[in-house]
Amino acid sequence: MIQAHRPVMLEEALAGLAVRPGGIYLDGTFGRGGHSGAILQALAGTGMLHALDRDPAACAEAWTRFGALPNFRIHARNFGELGAIAAELGIAGKVDGVLLDLGVSSPQLDDAARGFSFAQDGPLDMRMDPRSGESAAQWLAHAKEAEIADVLWRYGEERNSRRIARRIVETRTQAPIVRTAQLAALIAAVPGPRSRTIHPATRSFQAIRIFINGELEALESALQAAPSVLAPGGRLAVISFHSLEDRMVKRFLREAGDGGPREPFAVAPPASRLPPLKRIARVFPSEAEVAENPRARSAVLRIAERLP
Ligand SMILES: C[S@@+](CC[C@H](N)C(=O)[O-])C[C@H]1O[C@@H](n2cnc3c(N)ncnc32)[C@H](O)[C@@H]1O
């Protein structure tokens, strides 16, 4: 069954963004519009909310829910292009708040046809934007064993990465791996260290999804662009769901605080050209929220403010 998406740390994110009527806001991850809806409510018909999502289904939902509002626009774009999008819209340096609520939404995970879930059988796709790039099945059909192992280790911290990669490469010589259940069963059958709390395919599915969608690259580009997109006093709010993302955000904010990021953000412009960001808060979900919405369990919200 496809569940509605419950926005994570809704009140905390809204408070962190300090939404004020008349302001310009950018929600980089519309999803099902939980956060966007709350921002629009706080704007009370004033200001402007630009929302992005690379998933056409999310954009269709945005049209249905808020398409008639004059202070709302949805853009079917990747937030990795945040800087270019803000420049195209003429709002670079003028945005009062940018929100990134990372990862996939519940409807994406719950729709077996999207191929994100090892718990339900479906085509092995995993693309947030099914119109572009390679699906997980297409990539697994040609990737080298060492590349697969590297992805599983780097993006899933999967300790069994080498054995799983070997089994994938052996299996595909007999039949292509094209279904989520097929991949999940293959991984579950590989001997090796096991967690007692999560399904053996959890980390591999996370890793392949992050790789297929270039999630960390998009986050890095958006973080790089955020200081120049924000107006002085504007807020950046990022909700991460795993340590790879949160480490990146934490490190970026630490380094952006004293004049801009350095290594490993190799594409960073010279530090002196980036306006600094001040760290405001790090927030975790309440026990009550985690009890009600297990998806919130691993969430971390970080808030920063652009200095003048
Ligand atoms: C966790 S959900 C956001 C949920 C949303 N805040 C809500 O309350 O409904 C993440 C959404 O961001 C989208 N997304 C993830 N990475 C993206 C990217 N790089 N560019 C644009 N959209 C992205 C996904 O397609 C998904 O719809």
- Is the pLDDT reported for residue 259 higher than 60? no
In this model, does residue 218 exceed pLDDT 60?
Answer: yes
Instruction: Give the model's confidence band at 2: pLDDT under 50 very low, under 70 low, under 90 confident, else very high.
Output: low
217: CA distance to ligand 1 center in Å? 15
Q: Which tokens sit at 118?
A: 């090892």
Burial (CB count within 10 angstroms: exposed 0-12, middle 13-18, buried 19+), residue 138? middle
Answer yes or no: is the C-beta of 252 below 6 A from any ligand 1 atom. Answer: no
**Torsion on CA atoms 56, 60, 65, 71, rounded to nearest 10:** 70
Across-strand partners of 97? Answer: 25, 235
Q: What pLDDT was estimated at residue 265?
A: 47
What pLDDT sits at residue 8?
Answer: 96
Q: What does the alpha-carbon distance between residue 219 and residue 215 come to, in Å, rounded to a whole number?
A: 6
The maximal CA–CA distance of the chain, rounded, in angstroms, is 61
- Give percent of the chain above pLDDT 90: 87
What is the pLDDT confidence band of residue 125, given thresholds at 50, 70 and 90? very high
pLDDT tens for residues 30-53?
999 999 999 999 999 999 999 999
Q: pLDDT digit string (tens) for 267-282?
A: 455 545 678 999 999 9
Residue 273 has a pLDDT of 61
Strands 95-101, 48-52: pairing kind:
unpaired
Asked whether the predicted pLDDT for residue 21 surpasses 90, the reply is yes
Chain segment 77-119, per-residue pLDDT in tens: 999 999 999 999 999 999 999 999 999 999 999 999 999 999 9
| Averaged pLDDT for residues 185-189 | 95
Q: Is 103 in the pocket of ligand 1 (CB under 6 A)?
A: yes
Task: Tell me the three state secondary structure of residue 253.
Answer: helix
Mean pLDDT of the chain: 93
pLDDT at 306 over 60: yes
Mean pLDDT, to the nearest integer, of 235-263? 85
Ligand 1 within 6 A of CB of 29: yes
The pLDDT of residue 5: 75
Reported pTM: 0.93
Q: Look up residue 83 and give its two tokens.
A: 């800087």
Closest CA to 5 of 109, 123, 113, 115: 109
Q: Give the Cα separation of 191 and 198 in Å (integer).
A: 15
Which residue's C-alpha comes closest to atom 2 of ligand 1? 105
pLDDT in tens, 174-184: 999 999 999 99
Q: Is the pLDDT of residue 262 over 80?
A: no
pLDDT above 50 for 266: no
Residue 31 alpha carbon to ligand 1 centre in Å: 5
Considering only CA atoms, which residue is closest to atom 7 of ligand 1? 34
Length of the chain: 308
Please report the atom of ligand 1 found closest to the CA of residue 239.
1
